[in-house]
Structure 1
Amino acid sequence: MALSELELKRVERAVGRYLKKHRPPPHIRPELDVEARIQGQSVELVELRPAWRGDPGEITELPFAKTTFVRTQHVWKVFWRRADLRWHAYDPPTARTIDDALALVDEDAFGCFRG
């Protein structure tokens, strides 16, 4: 089940604040940028870079963090993407709000999201 309209607006505001804080300056964005994708009950944070190989103008998308709302538990589960390209639960694995989940990604105590 997707997020309700109220929940979606709350998530969009929280993600907007996160991106405002973490996106690089405009002159750097053609070389490195960060965006968020909201799909269903999940928010995925993605790093965008020009493709190392391939056509000029081709963009490589590297998802680095994901949080999913579990309505039955009223928590946001937080995941990080390992080199095996699978999502793994972060520690702590849950947060009470989307702001708390994004704060875990921002803090990155174990160097999982941004290295």
Structure 2
Amino acid sequence: MAISEFEIRRIEKLIGGLVEKRRPAPHIRSKLDIGFRVTGQSFEIFTVRPRWDKPEKTMEELVAKATYVKSRKTWKLFWMRADLKWHSYPPLAETKHLEDVLREIDDDPNGCFWG
């Protein structure tokens, strides 16, 4: 069973708040911006920037991913390692609250998400 439309709107509002807080100034956004997408029971946060070899095209660099496990009512947090695969984020691998996931991504105490 998928997440309800009501929950999707709540999730989008919470993630949108984090993304909006971290976005660069408007005059820089054509060179670097932050976005997110909700797909199924997961969301991804990513940066958007022009490609170095074709500046007219943009590329996304994934920052963080979280997946809701409905059967356990928990969120699992992942980070992208150098092997370009998602790995569980050990300091907060699982939590019941989306707010905890977003706080961990924002604070980034280990430099795994924002560098």
Q: Is the TM-score greater than 0.5?
A: yes
**What's the secondary structure of 1:27's corresponding residue?**
helix
Q: Which runs of 4+ in 1 moved over 4 A?
A: none
Aligned match of 2:93? 93
- Paired letter, 1:60: M
- Structure-1 residue corresponding to 2:106: 106
1:59 paired to 2:58: yes
Q: How many pairs are equivalent?
A: 114
TM-score by length of 2: 0.93
Greater mean deviation of Cα atoms: 98-107 or 79-88: 98-107
In the TM superposition, residue 12 of structure 1 has moved relative to its aligned partner by: 1.1
Query: In 1, distance between residues paired with 2:17 and 2:76?
Result: 20
- Matched residues in 1 for 2:20 and 2:95: separation? 21
Give unpaired runs (5+ residues) of structure 1. none
What's the counterpart of residue 6 of structure 2? 6
Post-superposition Cα deviations, 1:10-50, rounded to whole Å, max 9, x if no partner, equal: 10110121112111111010010000010000010011111
Q: Which residue identity does 2:101 align to in structure 1?
A: A
Distance in 2 between residues matched to 1:105 and 1:56, nearest whole Å: 28
Report the Cα offset of residue 95 of structure 1.
2.2
Moved more, 31-40 or 100-109: 100-109
Q: Which amino acid aligns with 1:36?
A: F
- Structure 2's unaligned 5+ residue stretches are none
Q: Which letter maps to 1:89?
A: S
In angstroms, what is the RMSD of aligned CA positions?
1.1
